[in-house]
Chains A and B, each alone.
Chain A
Amino acid sequence: MEQKRLKTVLLTIVLAFMAIMLRLTYWQIIKGSELRKKAILQTYKLNKITPSRGIIISSDNYPLALNQNKYQVSIYKPNLKTDLNNTINQINQISPNLIDLNHPAVKSFISNPNIKWIDLPNTVSRDEMEKINLSGVSFKKYQSRFYPENNLAKNILINLDSYYTKQLIGKIGFSLTAKDAIGNTILTKKNWNKPAINGQDLYTYINRGIQLQTETLLSEGIKQFSADSGSIIIIDPKTGGILAMSSQEATDTASLNISKNTTISDLYEPGSIFKPLVVSMALDKKAIDSDYICTKCNQSINFGEYTIGNWDNQVHPDSTLKDIIKNSDNIGMSHIIAKLKLDNFLYYYSKLGLNQKTGIDLPGETKSATKNYWSDVDLATASFGQGIAITQIQMLQAFNTIANNGILVYPKIVKSVSENGKIVKVNQPKTKTVFQESTIREIKSILQYAVENGTVSRLKPKQMEVCAKSGTAQVAIGGEYSENSSVASYIGFSPCQNPKFTMIVTINNPKTSSWGSSTAAPIWFDLASRIYNLL
Chain B
Amino acid sequence: MPTKNSLAFLLLLSFLIQILFSIYYSSEIINQNSNYLILQEKVDSLEIERQTLQAKLATETSLEKLSQYLQGKNYQPIWQQIDLNQP
Q: Is B55 touching A185 in the complex (CB atoms < 8 A)?
A: no
Instruction: Return the CB mask of B33-59 against A: 1 if under 8 Å, else 0.
Output: 100110010000000100110110011
B64 is an interface residue with CB less than 8 A from chain A: yes
A534 is an interface residue with CB less than 8 A from chain B: no
B62 is an interface residue with CB less than 8 A from chain A: yes
Which label, helix, strand, loop or mixed, suits the secondary structure of the A interface? mixed
B80 is an interface residue with CB less than 8 A from chain A: no
Contact-residue size bin, chain B (C-beta under 8 Å from the other chain): 10 to 19
Q: Is A149 touching B62 in the complex (CB atoms < 8 A)?
A: yes
A68 to B64, CA, bound (A): 19
Q: Which residues of A, 51-82, contact B by the 8 Å Cβ criterion?
A: 52, 62-63, 66-69
Q: Which residues of A contact B33 (CB under 8 A)?
A: 180, 184-187
Contact-residue size bin, chain A (C-beta under 8 Å from the other chain): 20 to 34
Which label, helix, strand, loop or mixed, suits the secondary structure of the B interface? helix
Q: Which residues of A contact B54 (CB under 8 A)?
A: 63, 66
Q: Which residues of A, 92-134, contact B by the 8 Å Cβ criterion?
A: 126
B32 is an interface residue with CB less than 8 A from chain A: yes
A350 to B27, CA, bound (A): 77
Q: Which residues of A contact B52 (CB under 8 A)?
A: 68-69, 126
B61 is an interface residue with CB less than 8 A from chain A: yes
Q: Is A185 touching B59 in the complex (CB atoms < 8 A)?
A: no
Q: Is A69 touching B58 in the complex (CB atoms < 8 A)?
A: no
Q: Is B36 touching A187 in the complex (CB atoms < 8 A)?
A: yes
Q: Which residues of A contact B78 (CB under 8 A)?
A: none
Q: Is B51 touching A187 in the complex (CB atoms < 8 A)?
A: no
A275 is an interface residue with CB less than 8 A from chain B: no
A152 is an interface residue with CB less than 8 A from chain B: yes
* Residues of A participating in the B interface, judged by any CB pair closer than 8 Å: 52, 62-63, 66-69, 126, 146, 148-150, 152, 180, 184-187, 208-209, 212
Q: Which 9 A-B pairs have the closest CB atoms?
A: A148-B58, A148-B62, A63-B58, A148-B59, A149-B62, A68-B55, A212-B63, A146-B55, A66-B55
